[in-house]
Amino acid sequence: MTIHGTTILAVRYNKKAAVAGDGQVTLNNGVIKHHARKVRRIYNDRIIVGFAGATADALHLSERLEEKLERYNGNLVRAAVELARDWRTDKYLRRLEAMMIAVDETHMLLLSGNGDVIEPDEGFIAIGSGGVAAQAAASALLPHAEALGMDAKQIVSQAMGIAANICIYTNDVITIEEI
């Protein structure tokens, strides 16, 4: 599933995690909003989610993930696996066009409608049309973060700025949440 029109990046560095999303919303070939919030906290502010795709679909998935988190006492991995299973098997959910990154104190997961629950090998993951640019920038910054005096929030901020300069569907109005 390829999602166009947004960029979400998550980075874990020095026991902190930051999730960033751009604020641009496009419709066909035009920009209709510059300050959308595609990153938010759920489950008593203990989990950060960032989404790419159709807004209503992404919000519905976020609500479903929160329900699963309630059911499994905040266990992000278990809740994500159960949501992915529902997403693949439920006739309504299968039609949703969205991807999501979910992060807590210890886990960083990508969830997709294909049933994927992926925890990256590295300390970063990105989705959306500018995801490759943001992920490449984070990959380049991470090895030098200590020397540059950067934390997770600064890494995602810089990487998202680079993505905004490359991807026409990504703007420089960035929302960042940190855990």
Q: Is the pTM of this model over 0.85?
A: yes
Inter-residue contact 131 to 1 (CB < 8 Å): no
CA distance 57 to 1: 14
Domain boundaries, the chain: 7-171
Is position 175 annotated as part of the catalytic site? no
Give percent of the chain with pLDDT exceeding 90. Answer: 70
Question: Does pLDDT of 7 surpass 90?
Answer: yes
Tell me which of 6, 7, 170, 175 is the catalytic residue.
6
State how far the alpha carbon of 146 is from the alpha carbons of 12, 13, 14, 138, 151, in Å. 13, 10, 9, 13, 8
List, in sequence order, every residue forming a beta bridge with 175; answer none if it has no partner.
21
Per-residue model confidence (pLDDT) at position 4:
53
Q: Which CATH number describes the domain made up of 7-171?
A: 3.60.20.10
Question: Does pLDDT of 155 surpass 90?
Answer: yes
